[in-house]
Amino acid sequence: MKHHSLSRTRVALAIGALLLAGCNDNDSTPKPAQPTLGHRTVSLIEQDGLQFKDLDGSGTLTPYEDWRLGAAERARDLVGRLSLAQKAGLMMHGTLVLDADGRVNLTAMDKMLREDGVNTFITRMAGDPAAIADDNNRLQALLEGVGLGIPMTVSTDPRNHFTHDPNATSIGAGAFSQWPETLGLAAIGDAALVQRFGDIARQEYRAVGIHEALSPQADLATEPRWGRINGTFGEDNLLAKSLVKAYIEGFQQGSDGIGPESVVTVVKHFAGAGPQKDGLDAHNPWGKEQVYPGGQFAYHLVPFEGAFEAKVGAVMPYYALPEGLTHEGQAIEEVGFGFNRQILTDLLRGHFKFDGVVLSDWGIVNDCDSRCEQGLTQDEVTAGVSPWTVPFGMSWGVEKLTKAERYAKAIDAGVDQFGGVEDPAPLLAAVQSGLVTEAAITTSAERILEQKFALGLFENPYVDTQAAVALVGKAEFQQEAQAAQAASHVLLKNEGSLLPLKADGKRVYLHNVNAEVAKANGYTVVTELAQADLAIVRVNAPGEQDPRFPFGSIHFGQLGFASADQVVQETAHEGIYRGADEYAAIQAVAQAGVPMVLSVYLDRPAILTEVAPAAQVLLANFGALDQALFDVISGKVKASGKLPFELPSSWQAVQNQHPDVAKDSANPLYPYGAGLAY
């Protein structure tokens, strides 16, 4: 048995275990600590007074079953026992199929689990942590008896951020703890708090059997029109670097790589999404280009340095293709980042020395046919047809390649695993036709398996359902989360030092605020502005959406408040303006002459020029319960946030700024870092 790749600690443990076989009962040599072995169908093997799972059913201990060995050595041993088809299955990152009740449909998943060798899935199960835990246990039990017993890795998009719901008086029991968006954490700017957030989310994820976080976003908010800014840490690259590092240290439990209690983090979207042409998003065929007119490509790499310092487990490249980009004197190929060897092999693996898993964004090998490019017809939109009936694919820059050729180009670029696909047949066809070598497949499969071993899933992939119910969203976690919701508010205006404000039974008019919460905080709620002493108004930042496309809900375009007949469509793609009703509500309060506390939810920078004069108090929030807002109004919790991006003063200023340059809007209404104290 080879031990050359083991750490000193692992070598000592392995040698100690071998010596035990010849020792008498009086030998004081310590044994390695026996891990808990979760098993349903496989037998256990006794050796050297220790237990191991007989995952291959051989009756003897094979190296990959030996938990005393290092993850890399076990992965090498196991990958050597797999067929080409099994290795290809490891490279698929599928989606758990749910039934009408939101539970996993095992029947619908049977083929991909038993025949296709797929064992990594994103879960979109919501709600009851007991149900999530129970379904993940059922899947693990099934896979325990398939092939060589490779356990399932479960991933998720972020679950711990709160978008305002005026019907909610609190966070319901059993929900994951709800924090502000990462923009709110950036507004607070405290790396220790971000690490604490990551640690709490890690505990909640692992409690229900989730092992991989498809986050954080290390992208920068340099293009204010881009619709995915709410998942970033703002536009300052050094702050983002610090908070990205802290986020990963919280989820992965430090900066030493993946351990048995870690959640693997997938930092995205290399090499920095955000500087999108006209602010349009690359999920859609009309937003595929990424541009750098300010020459700031290197600025967007800095946040990823924090991820690499924290030994991030995985990296996800973005859909977009770089238009006219040069780096270190070399022209970069104009293909999606997931197909770009210069970006993933030369820069990511070469310059940054990243040795983890490269996971593609979802659907990059899929076709985008004419239906995908055009979306629903207007008649279909009017009839209420779901845009998700439109097939989608994001193979930008390689649309003319076959699916097998796209797999080959992505693997040659450096991709190890493909998001959003469950069928390994096109990948196998690429190998059989000579487009991809089996050696390349083996390398990727080994990286993926090494993380499964490091996570401890081969020893115990099961979770305690009742423990999950007790831990997820427990009071202590939610109290910390709600305190962060309140503290992340940014106070932009406090005319006449209106805040902090005592309720004292004041008659309050509410817009998008829960009346029961207002009453609980000492206010008398009225429904007519003429009766009000005060108005508390909550609105969302404006934006445009396109209901014709599956990802048309991602905001783009207009950032300013206006009435429906005032909006001028000046974007590169026609959309439906969302903001006229919010503007009308603000105008109504202003015209009534009622003092107004206005809180704007910023998922992107907004142009507040038309509404700021109407408010006596102007707050920015990044996801907060109404109670968190009232805590700020009363002064119970101070609004301590600072703007993580600048707020432009006009649409013309937005059009004149460079998508890749931070803090370059002319005469911003509120600059980066703005925020008052009281």
pLDDT per position as a tens digit, 184-225 = 999 999 999 999 999 999 999 999 999 999 999 999 999 999
What 3-state class would DSSP assign to 52? strand
Q: Which long-range contacts (CB under 8 A, 24 or more apart) does 43-49 make?
A: 48/17, 48/18, 48/20, 48/21, 49/20
pLDDT at 175: 86
pLDDT at 174: 64
Question: Would you say residue 1 has pLDDT above 50?
Answer: no
Question: Would you say residue 285 has pLDDT above 70?
Answer: yes
pLDDT at 9: 40
- How many other C-beta atoms are found inside a 10 Å radius of the C-beta of residue 53? 20
Average pLDDT value over all residues in the chain: 92
Got the DSSP string for 56-112?
TS-SS--GGG-TTS-HHHHHHHHHTTS-HHHHHHHTEEEE--B-TTSSB-HHHHHHH
Q: What is the DSSP letter of 544?
A: E
Which active-site residues does the annotation give? Answer: 236, 361
> Which residue in 64, 37, 41, 38 sits closest to 51, CA to CA?
37
Q: The tokens 């030996």 sit on which residue?
A: 66
pLDDT at 5: 40
Question: Would you say residue 575 has pLDDT above 90?
Answer: no
Question: Would you say residue 406 has pLDDT above 90?
Answer: yes
Q: What is the DSSP letter of 228?
A: T
Under 8 Å between Cβ of 248 and 195? no
**What is the mean predicted confidence (pLDDT) over 407-416?**
98
pLDDT at 563: 81
**Per-residue model confidence as pLDDT tens digits over 537-570:** 999 999 999 989 999 888 888 999 988 677 655 5
Interacting residues of 543 by C-beta distance below 8 A, sequence separation 6+: 227, 555, 556, 557, 558, 559, 577, 578, 579, 603, 604
Helices 425-432 & 403-413 angle (0-180, nearest 10): 80
Residue that wins the pLDDT comparison between 162 and 80: 80
Under 8 Å between Cβ of 327 and 352? no
Between CA 387 and CA 377 the distance in angstroms is: 10
Place 523 in a pLDDT band, splitting at 50, 70 and 90: very high
Under 8 Å between Cβ of 312 and 249? no
Interacting residues of 561 by C-beta distance below 8 A, sequence separation 6+: 542, 579, 582, 583, 586, 606, 607, 608, 610, 611
Between CA 143 and CA 259 the distance in angstroms is: 22
Between CA 20 and CA 85 the distance in angstroms is: 39
| 48 CB burial (10 A radius; 0-12, 13-18, 19+) | middle
- Give the distance, in angstroms, between the CA of residue 618 and the centroid of all CA atoms in the same chain: 29
pLDDT at 572: 53
pLDDT at 173: 56
Question: Would you say residue 157 has pLDDT above 60?
Answer: yes
**Per-residue model confidence as pLDDT tens digits over 29-86:** 678 999 999 999 999 999 999 999 999 999 999 999 999 999 999 999 999 999 999 9
**Per-residue model confidence as pLDDT tens digits over 307-320:** 999 999 999 999 99
